[in-house]
Amino acid sequence: EVQLVQSGAEVKKPGQSLKISCRTSGYNFTNYWIGWVRQMPGKGLEWVGIIYPGDSDTNYSPAFEGQVTMSADKSITTAYLQWSTLKASDTAIYYCTRTRTAGELGSAWNHWGQGTLVTVSS
């Protein structure tokens, strides 16, 4: 069974750093794109970016380029999203998700983590 299990909720202050995780199991981690999606309070879904764990190829949505860093650790089949300097506007739920088809960057994402709530407040 494919599973994506995300790390727990975080409360941080502006200016602090943060790294959240998405631990995967039940499939070949290196063969499927993983995406990160932001959902701000009461708002819609936005792509943060995508990563291909096989070679760590990444693509960031323009709004997030330079603001966050995605990475993947093949040895523990876990993907990460990190911030070096958090802002109040980073407050949101962040989901990790996986493509339906191996090796293909299609538009269908059929496995989702439960979401990580990140709260940034002074």
Partner 1 sequence: SSELTQESDVSVALGQTVRITCQGDSLRNFYASWYQQKPGQAPLLVFYGKESRPSGIPGRFSGSRSGNTASLSITGAQAEDEAVYYCNCRGNTALELLVFGGGTRLTVL
- Contact pick of 19, 28, 106, 121 for partner 1 (by CB under 8 A): 106
Does 115 engage in binding with partner 1 (CB under 8 A)?
yes
Contact 37, 97 (CB under 8 A): yes
10 or 46: whose CB is closer to partner 1? Answer: 46
Q: Does 100 bind partner 1 (CB under 8 A)?
A: yes
**44 forms part of the interface with partner 1 (CB under 8 A):** yes
Does position 109 interact with partner 1 (CB under 8 A)? The reply is yes
For residue 52, give every residue at least 6 positions away whose Cβ sits within 8 Å of its Cβ, in sequence order, or none: 33, 34, 58
Site for partner 1 in 70-99 (CB under 8 A): 95, 97
Q: Taking CB under 8 A as the criterion, which residues in 51-70 touch partner 1?
A: 59, 61-62
Tell me if 53 sits within 8 A of 34, measured CB to CB.
Answer: yes
CB 41, CB 31: distance < 8 Å: no
Q: Which positions ≥6 away from 72 have C-beta within 8 Å?
A: 29, 34, 51, 53, 56, 78, 79, 80
Residues lying near partner 1 in the complex (CB under 8 A): 35, 37, 44-47, 50, 59, 61-62, 95, 97, 100, 105-110, 112-115
